[in-house]
Every structure is written in C-alpha cells, then in structure tokens.
Structure 1
Amino acid sequence: MSISLRRARTMIRKAFENARGAEMKPLAAVVLDEGGHIIAFEREDGARPGRFEIAHGKAYGAVMLGMPGSAQMARAEAQAYFIACANGALGGRMVPVPGGVIVRDSKGKILGAVGVSGDTSDNDAAAAKAGIEAAGLTAEI
C-alpha cells in the first residue's frame, strides 16, 4: 500500500479544516511517500513565505529517521550531536520539531509523513494528525 494523490489531498484538506475549526494561523502542508518524495503540497491563503521549506523539513526528517518530530526534538535535547549529524547527512533538510507526523497503515507499516507549518509546532502536529486520521490512516505524532 502507498499513499495515493487522492488520499494525500484528503489529508491536507482535513488538516486545513481542523486548523480553521481551531482558529489556527494559516498553514502549509506537505505529504511525502516512504522514500521522502512529495506527493502533494498546499499552502493556505495568508501562510507566510518559507512555510513550504519548514513543512517539508518536518515531514522529511520524520520519514527519513522513522520518528515523528516530537521524538526528534526529544532526541535533539538528549543527544544534540546525533540530530546535528543526521541533519548534515540528510543535506540540512530536517526540521526536528513537532509537526512532522509519521503516516502508518493498519499493520503499522510506515507509508510516509505529513509536515505542517504555520502555527505552533504542537498545533501543526494536531492538524496533521487530524488529516491523516480523516484519510483512514494512523498518525504517529
């Protein structure tokens, strides 16, 4: 199983709907497959410049390390050298904070990741989780 374009668009749409209901700031969201390739990206009207790069970095770090942004942040606090080295090995493309959410199927297999940026990192993660679950998949935040 992989994440289809249709399902990726559903994740983004539902993440944005969740954000509007929670009165979050305008967001940007990206969905990556298990290899870190972009399936879909959207930015809400009013989202600040640079949100694509941040959302992508959150999702990219999650899928490449197999751990969500919250776990990456905890690891950075405990072992900053590991995250710094991993980020260097991955070309500086990681943003190790909440908002990079792993997407799993019903058997626990990693299918990819969703990255959201625009509000607080915890709110970004909540919006991503809502989008993933609305698409019938499991979110690891």
Structure 2
Amino acid sequence: MGISLEQAQAAVQAAYQKSLEIGVKMNIAIVDAGANLVAFARMDDAWLGSLDISIKKAKTARFFDMPTGDLGQASQPGGPLFNIEVSNGGLITFPGGLPIKDGSGKIIGAIGVSGDTVENDHTVAEAGSNAVAGQ
C-alpha cells in the first residue's frame, strides 16, 4: 500500500516543525508510491523557484528509491549515471529528496524539500521521512 494522506500530512508537519526549529523557509512535497503528489506545503516567503525543485526531488527519490544526494554522486562526470538528471522530464540530483518507508521498511512514497542549503533541505526531509517510518 502507498502512503496515506494522513501519513503524508504527518510527514509535512514534521518537516515543517524541523524547518521552524532551524529557522528556514521550505517547500515540502510528498509523493506516493507512484510518484504522484499527495501533500504539499509552501512556508510563507519560501523561494518560489524551490516549489518545483521540491516536487522533483520527491519524484526523483521515488523513481530510484534512494536519497537524491546519492543519485547525484553517481551522476557526476565520469560516473555510471552521468546525465541521468535529463531523464524522466528532469530530475534533481542533489540532497533534499528521500524515500519514505513504512514501519516494516517498505517504500511507500517520498519527500522532497527545497528552500535553503542542500544540507538543511536534507535535514528537513529526514524529519518528514522519519515521522512516517515511526508510525
């Protein structure tokens, strides 16, 4: 079964709380197992350009069932996945997208976060992902 709306909203809420905690303004996207958008939040004054990036990070994490930062490392020049970011209508291959797993470890969706440094994007995405895994 894919992520439920309730789980997606819990992930958004946890990511939102982490954003407040570290003082950043984020766009937070949750997709289901089919990479379809289920929930989204744009914090007040979060970058408009990051809206699309957050959704693409979530889709990228689900398409390949791995953190977007890991995919980015494999897609560097000379790497085995060089230029993969131009596939699938455009992927995002830097940190901030993570698969979301249920309590048994099955991937049920993904989260994408964008709006600050890639390190902060990843931290906020991790908070959202962990909120669902703990249910």
TM superposition score normalised by structure 1: 0.86
Aligned to 2:8: 8
CA distance in 2, matches of 1:79, 1:105: 35
SS in structure 2 of the partner of residue 87 of structure 1 = helix
CA distance in 1, matches of 2:112, 2:71: 13
SS in structure 1 of the partner of residue 75 of structure 2 = helix
Q: Number of residues paired by the alignment?
A: 134
Tell whether the 8 Å contact from 1:72 to 1:83 is kept in structure 2 after alignment.
no
Tell whether the 8 Å contact from 1:61 to 1:69 is kept in structure 2 after alignment.
yes
Aligned to 2:57: 58
CA distance in 1, matches of 2:124, 2:35: 20
Aligned to 1:89: 87
Structure 2 residues without counterparts, runs of 5 or longer? none
Aligned to 1:40: 39
Question: What amino acid sits opposite 1:67 in the alignment?
Answer: M
Q: Over aligned residue pairs, what C-alpha RMSD do you find?
A: 1.7
Question: What amino acid sits opposite 1:8 in the alignment?
Answer: A
- Taking only the aligned residue pairs, the percentage that are identical comes to 32
1:91-119 C-alpha deviation (Å, 9 max, x unpaired): 22x11111001111232211111000001
1:74-133 C-alpha deviation (Å, 9 max, x unpaired): 11226457241x3333022x1111100111123221111100000111111111111222
CA distance in 2, matches of 1:15, 1:69: 17
Q: Where do 1:1-141 residues align within 5 Å?
A: 1-24=1-24, 26-77=25-76, 79-80=78-79, 82-84=81-83, 86-92=84-90, 94-135=91-132, 137=133
SS in structure 2 of the partner of residue 77 of structure 1 = coil
CA distance in 1, matches of 2:30, 2:78: 28
